[in-house]
Copies of this chain bind each other. A is one copy, B any other.
Amino acid sequence: MSLPAGDHIRYGGDYNPEQWPTEVWDDDYAAFDLAHVTTLTVGVFAWAHTEPAEGVYDFSRLDAIVERAHAQGRDVVLATPSGAMPPWLARAYPDACRVDLEGRRHVYGQRHNHCPSSPDFRRLSVAMADRLAERYGDHPAVVAWHVGNEYGGACYCDLCAAGFREWLRARYGTLERLNGAWNTLFWSHVFGDWDEVVPPSMLSEHWRGPNHTAFQGITLDYRRYMSDRLREGYSDEKAAIRERSALPVTTNLMGFFQPLDYHRWADDLDFVSWDNYPPLPDDPLRTAARMAATHAAMRGLKGGQPFWVMEQTPSTTASRDVNPVKRPGVLGLWTWQSVAHGADATLYFQMRQSKGACEKYHGALIDHSGRTDTRVFREAAELGAGLARTGDALLGARTPARVALLLDWDSWWAVEMTDGYNRHVSYLQTLLQHHRALWSLNAEVDVVPVTADLAPYDVVVAPLLHLLKGDVVERLTAHVEGGGSLVTTFYGGRVDEDDNAYCGVPPLDPLLGTRVEETDSGVPGAANPVTLELDGVATTHDATLVFELLVPDEGTEVVGTYGADFYAGRAAVTRARRGAGSAWHVATGLDDAGLARVLRHVLTGHGLVGPHADDVGVEVARRVAPDGTTSTFVLHHGDAPVTVTAQVAGEDLLTGRVVRVGDDLTLAPAEVLVLRG
């Protein structure tokens, strides 16, 4: 089971016509025609009107919506409505609402807030999925299933506590093993009975918030459990659908979303879809890099399979403190970027702007004015036309990459809930910093789990690989010895899968050829200058936050040294040659330029620096179709026109313009080329 069938890059998005009288629907479809909209996501929040009371189903409105779409030649992605329960459900079953980290039972409100252990919620949501599959499973308009919506959060109720205990029994088998994993002799926590275990909350192990816990092991397991628990709800709905429908099933993920381990969700998704709402673009290039990283991570959930962008906004968000409009061209630029990195569909939230409640000022294809002569609509329509022009040329195409960036939720969780050394270390920002250095070189990068097959890659970059699990050390060693490069950082390989520190010689040390004798840390902004000696050139860079004091093994090459404090002159960056390859240890928080220098050196060694690596703001990315045809995307993220010497050739799929290597190539702001040939 893989992606939905289709013959084009899908375009459209969330459509909630139940909020409007049917005469408005006519206007909607007229606008859809203008914008080349092909695909509509319906039913996401339909529970209240499809089951107005328990067991009373009324599909009349949904029927009308699906029929109309079909009549107008549109495909439908049909959602189960479990992302937002109706009022009657919360009233009848109060324990369908969550208990939060503060121990408070919530009552009815908002969305994405059901207790994943509530038997009533699960029964009713699965029954609804079953009914929907029964009714629409064979409908010719329906092309895929969208279960729930943006799963997330956590519940701390008694039912979840009971579930946690079962999950622990399954994981550990015995209390002895559990007590060992959690190191419970520390602070007298030895559990003598499974029922003594309570969820780690602000009323038990936590202080200050979700990342401050007395027992990292308990909290880590609760995160794993809660990720699994929410997934069970998804999977139960999926199973109910599968009984009646052979169509692919997904749910819309949220990119780098810390609460859920998407790597553990991936097997249950037929295809990946995600919602692209990057943070406020204070720096357009950072935003672009971040989106590229997220596309790669989402693509990496299912081994490089193309994915869908299930949501993005055509203009503004509403939930941020400040919600600027997307600048001219940016909608197209970002949409094409998603396609460049593997998207086979690019959809909006939403088709028509709601008139009330908290998303009434969130952008939409059709805004409150209902007009189609606005800048936003015009840009969206132009984009729709451009996507249509590509036909099926890009569909299913893969993105080749020989650089792997390792992403691991366990390390993410462990690093950020650790007491010591430095609370200012952000797993995600560190990962993104490493990605940004690679992206700025137009290197092709996959963001993959630590369990991924490393054979396709020449370079593996593993920032903050704090927690080691499975055979990762063996595989990294084989990768290096087989000629690959490995780049790791401070905090690497410190703890095992239970978040217990390695004693004696940590297992990653022999590969890296280093021992960490001490770990110093500094407040944000307090820098130690690190001098890098690479290719015969010395440069000096700020290093901040964490300073590992290394003792290199004999033969380990010192590439960077600290310049200040009592460890001035000691190793800060090392390279150990192992077999045909090298293992790098970047033992401190190098600044962007320093890190980029190390990574460029490593990529250069493998011939993996991409085209236009020195043309700031010019992104290049490739997709290779099943038939081997390569499309090379050239995207200009700068806000001024730029003229570069073309380093890739082909005919632009959008305009027919032919580019030859060596040409003067002038790119307008937000300009996109899709070169083939």
* Residue on B nearest A190 in the bound complex, by CB: B48
**B88 & A183 in contact (Cβ 8 Å cutoff):** no
Q: Complex: how many Å from CA A190 to CA B57?
A: 14
Any B CB within 8 A of the CB of A296: no
Any B CB within 8 A of the CB of A86: yes
Q: Complex: how many Å from CA A421 to CA B323?
A: 5
**A501 & B357 in contact (Cβ 8 Å cutoff):** no
| A65 CB, min distance to chain B CBs, angstroms | 12
Chain B residues lying within 8 Å of A325, measured Cβ to Cβ, are 518-520
Chain B residues lying within 8 Å of A327, measured Cβ to Cβ, are 565-566
| A427 CB, min distance to chain B CBs, angstroms | 16
**A315 & B518 in contact (Cβ 8 Å cutoff):** yes
Chain B residues lying within 8 Å of A216, measured Cβ to Cβ, are 356-358, 360
**B355 & A501 in contact (Cβ 8 Å cutoff):** yes
Any B CB within 8 A of the CB of A531: no
**B186 & A354 in contact (Cβ 8 Å cutoff):** yes
Any B CB within 8 A of the CB of A517: yes
Any B CB within 8 A of the CB of A569: no
The verdict on A87 contacting B190 (CB below 8 Å), with A203-B107, A205-B110 known, is yes
* Residue on B nearest A371 in the bound complex, by CB: B517
Any B CB within 8 A of the CB of A424: yes
**A319 & B419 in contact (Cβ 8 Å cutoff):** yes
**B87 & A504 in contact (Cβ 8 Å cutoff):** no
Chain B residues lying within 8 Å of A306, measured Cβ to Cβ, are none
Any B CB within 8 A of the CB of A457: no
Any B CB within 8 A of the CB of A193: yes
**B198 & A357 in contact (Cβ 8 Å cutoff):** no
**A91 & B195 in contact (Cβ 8 Å cutoff):** yes
Any B CB within 8 A of the CB of A606: no
**A198 & B520 in contact (Cβ 8 Å cutoff):** no
* Residue on B nearest A61 in the bound complex, by CB: B185
8 Å CB contacts to B: which residues of A565-589?
A: 565-566
**A184 & B48 in contact (Cβ 8 Å cutoff):** yes
* Residue on B nearest A315 in the bound complex, by CB: B518
Chain B residues lying within 8 Å of A214, measured Cβ to Cβ, are 109-111, 357-358
Any B CB within 8 A of the CB of A593: no
Partner-contacting stretch, out of A97-105, A477-485, A643-651, A652-660: A97-105
**B324 & A520 in contact (Cβ 8 Å cutoff):** yes
The verdict on A200 contacting B324 (CB below 8 Å), with A186-B19, A190-B49 known, is no
* Residue on B nearest A24 in the bound complex, by CB: B503
**A424 & B187 in contact (Cβ 8 Å cutoff):** no
The verdict on A501 contacting B192 (CB below 8 Å), with A45-B185, A184-B48, A519-B325 known, is no
Chain B residues lying within 8 Å of A201, measured Cβ to Cβ, are 107
Q: Residue-by-residue, is A157-199 near B (CB-CB < 8 Å gives 1, otherwise 0)?
A: 0000000000000000000000001111111111111011110
Chain B residues lying within 8 Å of A370, measured Cβ to Cβ, are 503-504
The verdict on A368 contacting B110 (CB below 8 Å), with A183-B356, A356-B182, A523-B322 known, is no
The verdict on A91 contacting B16 (CB below 8 Å), with A45-B187, A324-B522, A424-B322 known, is no
Any B CB within 8 A of the CB of A633: no
Any B CB within 8 A of the CB of A332: no
Chain B residues lying within 8 Å of A102, measured Cβ to Cβ, are 104
**A420 & B318 in contact (Cβ 8 Å cutoff):** yes
| A664 CB, min distance to chain B CBs, angstroms | 26
| A500 CB, min distance to chain B CBs, angstroms | 4
**B87 & A323 in contact (Cβ 8 Å cutoff):** no
Chain B residues lying within 8 Å of A45, measured Cβ to Cβ, are 185-188
Q: Complex: how many Å from CA A91 to CA B207?
A: 21
Any B CB within 8 A of the CB of A2: no
Q: Which of A103, A357, A359 has the most CB of B within 10 A?
A: A357
**B501 & A187 in contact (Cβ 8 Å cutoff):** no
* Residue in contact with A368 in the complex, picked from B111, B185, B502, CB distance below 8 Å: B502
**A500 & B192 in contact (Cβ 8 Å cutoff):** no
Any B CB within 8 A of the CB of A8: no
Q: Which of A109, A327, A361, A423 has the most CB of B within 10 A?
A: A109
Closest 3 CB pairs of A and B: A183-B356, A361-B420, A109-B204
List 6 A-B pairs, Cβ < 8 Å: A16-B186, A87-B192, A90-B196, A318-B420, A325-B519, A353-B501
Given A183-B355, A356-B499, output 9 extra A-B contacts at Cβ < 8 Å: A84-B188, A85-B188, A87-B192, A103-B104, A111-B188, A316-B519, A322-B522, A322-B523, A368-B504
Interface residues of A (CB under 8 A from B): 16, 18-19, 45-49, 52-53, 81, 84-88, 90-91, 102-111, 181-193, 195-198, 200-207, 213-217, 280, 315-325, 327-328, 353-362, 368-370, 374-376, 418-424, 498-505, 515, 517-523, 565-566
